[in-house]
Amino acid sequence: MTVTSPSAVRLGGTGQRRAGLAFVAGYVFLLIAFGVVPIGYAVYFAFTDAGGTFTGFGNFVTTAQDFRFLDAVGHVAVYLLCWLVSLVVFVVGLALLLHRLSAGLTGQALRFLYYIPGALAGAASVLVWLFMLDPTVSPVSSLLGALGFDTFGQVIAPDNLPLLFTIIAFWTGAGGWIVVMYGALNNIPTDVMEAARIDGAGAWQTAWHVQIPMLRKWIVYMVILAFAGGAQLFVEPQLLSLASVGVAGRDYSLNQLTYDFAFQMNNINGAAAVSMELLVVSVSVAGLFVARSGFFDAD
């Protein structure tokens, strides 16, 4: 029998700690360089004027009094409501369906199809949807006509934008989350599922009383990230504004308003103030979800 000396154990532990620190060091450096430092820079701009003089909450008050600010807040709030509700309902529902079909070729085909929209994330996806939503060139122009849309301007009317942005966001982002939820479903212990079956639980009862509660932390994690991303809505309305030649405004979302403050009005300080407001709201909502859901509690 080989006996390992205490000194060898200590050396092994030291080597593991060094390896761990080496792996973490790269991430920490990037986090500081592209996360902490820019946030600190934004805080400085948010509380000073163009000359560097401390102004307190002056920039926050000025931007909040802008005639476009409350409208942008309302637009983002409606979009977030549509986006988060549809994400939770359809992602969880489709993941449960995929889990039941996973044994056959149908399940494998669905898992592959869920990944395809993710290849067209961001601006590319918006451009595809601009093509799809224009009745004059869309391959589904007959469907658009049946819904009463004869022109591109009718499709992108302001009242339709929250739904359109939700559809685009779901198309590009939901597939990955469906696969994540599917993986989480596969991690549910088989004895738990077997116990539910023995107790006479059907598919709906098993999903509602067993599977969905055990997905709670994954759902909370998805909602936190989706809220943070949705609050920063920018690419979709910005490209739509350019494509529609002003039919959709360039100040629809708060991020668009921030862009306008910074690059159209040369008000970097006001832009930083709006950015800080978005950061505070996102962090606060994330903290609320984590605290109320028991996200870090041991199962």
Bridge partners, 54 (sequence order): 48
Q: What is the CA radius of gyration of the chain?
A: 24
- Is 8 a residue whose pLDDT tops 60? no
Q: Please provide the average confidence, as pLDDT, over all residues in the chain.
A: 84
pLDDT at 246: 63
The DSSP 8-state label assigned to residue 102 in this structure reads T
Query: So what's the pLDDT on residue 298?
Result: 62
Statement: residue 155 has pLDDT above 90: no
Q: Assess contact for 210 and 193: CB atoms under 8 A.
A: yes
* Residue whose structure tokens are 């849309």: 149
Dist. CA 80–CA 77, nearest whole Å = 5
Which CATH number is 59-293's, of 3.40.50.620, 3.40.50.2300, 1.10.150.130, 1.10.3720.10? 1.10.3720.10
Q: What residue segments make up the domains of the chain, in order of their start?
A: 1-46, 59-293
Q: What percent of the chain has pLDDT over 70?
A: 86
Number of neighbours of residue 111 by Cβ within 10 angstroms: 16
Q: What is the pLDDT of residue 276?
A: 94
CA gap 258, 254 in Å, rounded: 6
Residues comprising the chain, all counted: 299
pLDDT band of 9, cuts 50, 70, 90: very low
Which of 94, 166, 159, 157 is CA-nearest to residue 129?
A: 166
